[in-house]
Amino acid sequence: MAKRRQSKNPEIEKLFDSLCYAKTPWEVWMDIIQMFAITMANSLDVGERRDKREKTYLQIAKKYSEQETKVIVDILSQITMAYETNPDQDLLGDLYMALNLGSSELGQFFTPYCVCKSMAKMTIDKGLMQNIINEKGYFTVNEPACGAGATIIALVNKIKAIDINYQTDFYIVAQDVSYIAVLMCYIQLSLLGCAAVVIVGNTLTSPPTTQMQTNIELADNMWLTPMYHSKLWQMRREARLVSEMLHYVGKEMFQNKPTEKKKPTPQPKEEIVKAVQLSLF
């Protein structure tokens, strides 16, 4: 195994290592991230999807003793407090790579956060964003290979720095083929208070579409942040749905409108001239 590099959160790393005596680091990480994500999602989710995730949570919890469960709770508390103290970081992505948990099969190497900050600085144009907000009410970002969410986190912090309220003016759709990466992204965006849908799936073969967004409340592969459930964003989704329905109905009416039959233009009658014998006398 490759030598670990020092993470930026050694206390969390130390607590994590204390759980790895009888389990692999990958198993422990997977369990902790799933428990944290499910706890967040099920606080507001409903229906069959919530029940499935609750069963998963209980199955994971059975694997750990009471003392180990306290350590997990301590880890989750420290992650939360770390974001309260400094929201401008990719905490889970940094830990994940420091623990050598990246998937070589997927070619998984998360973009360093300093690079993400540079990209956000070069990309964001306050005037353009403000124009979109004034016209539409908010602006959207689609991240097709989100990883643990570093690019979006850098973007969120840059938006905050230019005095735009990302919690009310910024809607995120993120997707990744890696289940664990999606959960890490979901956790971090939830802690930041972003309105986001984070999707498990291959963006190339299953890109997010308007139809997919309509079925959001039912899909098992979609994780909705707490801010997504807020009244403000609920009203905006309903308004968008009504707008799309009216657009569709209007389009159908235009396409199915009976065409008026044009009356045939009367053709001028040909003058019939009788042939007569010419006479010179």
d(CA 128, CA 271): 71
d(CA 146, CA 48): 26
Beta bridge partners, 200, equal 176
The residue behind tokens 């974001």 is 83
Give the pTM.
Answer: 0.82
Q: Which residues contact 161 (CB under 8 A, 6 or more apart)?
A: none
Quick check: helix, strand or coil at residue 244? helix
Q: How many CB atoms lie within 10 A of CB 5?
A: 10
Per-residue model confidence as pLDDT tens digits over 107-148: 567 788 999 999 999 988 888 888 999 988 888 899 999 989
Per-residue model confidence as pLDDT tens digits over 211-258: 445 556 667 889 999 999 888 888 887 777 776 677 666 656 666 666
CA nearest to 150, candidates 109, 178, 122: 109
